[in-house]
Copies of this chain bind each other. A is one copy, B any other.
Amino acid sequence: MSSRTSGQVHIIGSGLLGTSIGLGLTNLGVDVSLEDSSPAVLSLAKDFGAGRTLNAADEVALVIVCVPPDVAAETISSAIKRFPQAVVTDVASVKSSILSEVTASGAELSHYVGSHPMAGREKGGALSGRPDLFVGRPWVITVEKNTSAQSVNVVEQLALDLGATPIRMTAQEHDHAVALISHAPQVISSLLAARLSGADDSDLALAGQGVRDTTRIAASDPKLWLQILSANATELLPVLRDFETDLSSVIHSLEQVDSAGSLAKLGKALEAGNLGISRLPGKHGSRNTSYASIVVMIDDKPGELARLLNEIGSAGLNIEDLKLDHATGAQVGLVELSVLPAIEAKLLETLSSNGWRLAG
């Protein structure tokens, strides 16, 4: 595979994102150099194959700043001064506050383009890095009135090299969007999970998939999120205040369930949730597609799931989504297969004739 990106790429900060970018570009044959404020972290990322040490004689074409949000602006400003010939970008999860700080520092902005790959993992660090971290993910590239088209193009080629889908927005549009679809869910999930911290084991024993899904991202790194949330407070606050207003109205309705109109209000809140979730785009970038869902029961032993999927594959049928659900305390698993409605009948027939245990 040959890369779109040309020239040497220098990555500042070799945590999860820096290491993943380094691995992805190195795999494509790009010459990648790395630096990190921690010699131990830098050495780990180099051992991992994410790049080499920067040399004094290097001619860097693109600098990617991959440091935590609280030091991103000063690192970008300094990179602009250190590498005056290079395009400089960064990957921080907040964009407006960083742009303001970089502008205020007096750094030359003509070669700077902020960006944000919408990828990550609950675990950070170089060791969690992987070259395919960005595959199929949106990569926001922030374009302001005076941003150089040439520089935007360089960052778009980078995103495409790593398998991501570049999306152009202003920094403010980006921050508005992520407040809604990333930062507010993080706060709400953390606050919900916090309710469990003092619970009795006997209460928690009844936990099912609902509470697990709603609280999963509460396992994320508090230090990183503290920086993200505080840097995007302006956009996040209106979303949280609207949530607070609705919650307060639900609490009020529950306090007087017998008074006129209370149930109607509560019902409307639940219906608004139905509407909201229906607006999330579905797989492959399209609007929510309705898949047919088929549940198969399998024994919890090696090879069972493979045998099931092997038979489905042999019949030429493609699965859109798969969820393996190990039931609490049971040694059996439930496999929920989502398929396009057009092939549902054929799949049911295939499974039945092969003796699988199905719903109803």
Residues of A at under 8 Å CB distance from B?
19, 23, 48-49, 118-119, 127-132, 135-138, 140, 163, 165, 167, 169, 173, 176-178, 180-182, 184-197, 199-208, 210-220, 222-223, 225-226, 229-230, 233, 236-237, 239-244, 246-248, 250-251, 254-255, 257, 262-263, 266-267, 269-281, 283-285, 295, 297, 300-314, 316-324, 326-332, 334, 357-360
Contacts and interface: CB of A to CB of B under 8 A. Distances in A.
A322 B358 CA distance: 20
Contacts of A226: 263, 266-267, 270
Contact of A197 (B129, B229, B276): B276
Copies of this chain held together in the complex: 2
A340 to B, nearest CB: 12
Contacts of A322: 305, 322, 324
A50 B278 CA distance: 32
A177 B203 contact: yes
A136 B328 contact: yes
21 contacts: A23-B360, A49-B360, A127-B360, A130-B359, A138-B329, A177-B200, A181-B203, A181-B207, A185-B211, A187-B247, A189-B214, A195-B239, A196-B276, A196-B280, A240-B247, A284-B331, A303-B313, A305-B313, A306-B308, A307-B313, A321-B326
Nearest to A194: B272
Contacts of A131: 359-360
Q: Which of A202, A239, A280 has the most CB of B within 10 A?
A: A280
Given A184-B195, A229-B254, 11 more contacts: A138-B328, A140-B206, A176-B203, A190-B272, A194-B275, A205-B285, A214-B216, A222-B267, A222-B273, A226-B263, A284-B328
B216 A277 contact: yes
A138 B360 contact: no
A143 to B, nearest CB: 13
B281 A204 contact: yes
Contact of A266 (B197, B211, B230, B360): B230
B283 A326 contact: yes
